[in-house]
């Protein structure tokens, strides 16, 4: 599982994820993404759609029963 938040979209992150998928393709290893959803990171799925589309057709992207695996979490904090 690769966990991403919007502040991680840097050249280094993009290159690293590309390398991870390339290596996973060569080994038959499977990967999938987890996106943190909140106002500080991703607040709308459209924000990561293009990024996800780069990888879901790769041999190394994990599918379960013919469907892509995608984890989204909502982070919220309460001030008390």
Mean pLDDT in each 10-residue stretch from start to end of the chain (80 residues)?
Answer: 59 86 96 75 75 90 83 55
How confident is the model at residue 80, as a pLDDT? 44
> φ, ψ for residue 7 (rounded to 5)?
-75, -5
Spans of all domains in the chain:
2-74
How confident is the model at residue 52, as a pLDDT? 84
How confident is the model at residue 27, as a pLDDT? 97
DSSP bridge partners of 20 = none
Residue 70, classified by CB atoms within 10 Å of its CB into exposed (0-12), middle (13-18) or buried (19+), is: middle
């Amino acid at each position: 599982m690769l966990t991403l938040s919007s502040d991680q979209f840097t050249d280094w992150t993009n290159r690293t994820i590309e390398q991870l998928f390339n290596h996973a393709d060569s080994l038959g290893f499977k990967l999938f993404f987890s996106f943190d959803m909140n106002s500080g990171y991703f607040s709308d799925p459209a924000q990561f759609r293009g990024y996800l589309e780069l990888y879901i057709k790769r041999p190394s992207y994990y599918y379960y029963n013919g469907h892509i695996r995608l984890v989204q979490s909502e982070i919220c904090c309460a001030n008390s």
